[in-house]
Amino acid sequence: MNLLDRLLGHDTWTTRQLLLACQSLPDELLDREFEIDSRSLRNTFVHMIDNMEVWTDLMWARPVARQSGDSIPALLQRLSRISRDFAHIAREIARTGRYDDCFMDVLDDPPKPKTFGGAIGHLITHNMHHRAQIMIMMENVGLKEHIEGDLLGWESQAFGWADPPHWGN
């Protein structure tokens, strides 16, 4: 497994785990507002998945199709669908060595070129930033037991390791 596969797997799995942890919350807690970026758990999850959908459409050079559905089950479905699509184009770009090639961001006015590598990195780091906000909001609505969300924790789960490896001893 290469670094890109690790980052893509971690990104989707971690967001999915947080969505699953929130599925028992009533709407009033999913929509409770905080003095933070997208203001609520639901809005933050929607923002993350919307961005994945938009940037993936832009990289594929297809019309941006705004998806709908903001319930936890709908967000899980949207995440599964867009994660596969995003991973497909990211792996194709890596395979063909096109990280520095550009696509047009037609949503900019006027449209501006963006690199594929920059967009892939942006999506992955953007989601990590918002997952940290989600964890703070989760704790504030009473969900104090949740994953840490780090890459080594994901890797341990993905590879079935009982304990993290002990290096150097």
Tens of pLDDT, residues 125-162? 999 999 999 999 999 999 998 888 999 988 888 888 75
Cα–Cα distance for residue pair 57/47, rounded to 1 Å:
15
Q: Superfamily assignment of 3-159 in CATH?
A: dinb family like domain (1.20.120.450)
pTM, entire model:
0.92
Dihedral class, residue 71 (left if φ above 0, else alpha if ψ from -120 to 50, else beta): beta
Q: Which sequence spans correspond to the domains of the chain?
A: 3-159
Q: What value does the mean pLDDT take over residues 89-108? A: 97
Tens of pLDDT, residues 14-23? 999 999 999 9
Neighbours of 120 (CB within 10 A): 24
For the chain, give the secondary structure using H, E and C. Answer: CCHHHHHHHHHHHHHHHHHHHHCCCCHHHHCCCCCCCCCCHHHHHHHHHHHHHHHHHHHHCCCCCCCCCCCHHHHHHHHHHHHHHHHHHHHHHHHCCCCCCEEEECCCCCCEEEEHHHHHHHHHHHHHHHHHHHHHHHHHCCCCCCCCCCHHHHHHHHHCCCCCCCCCC
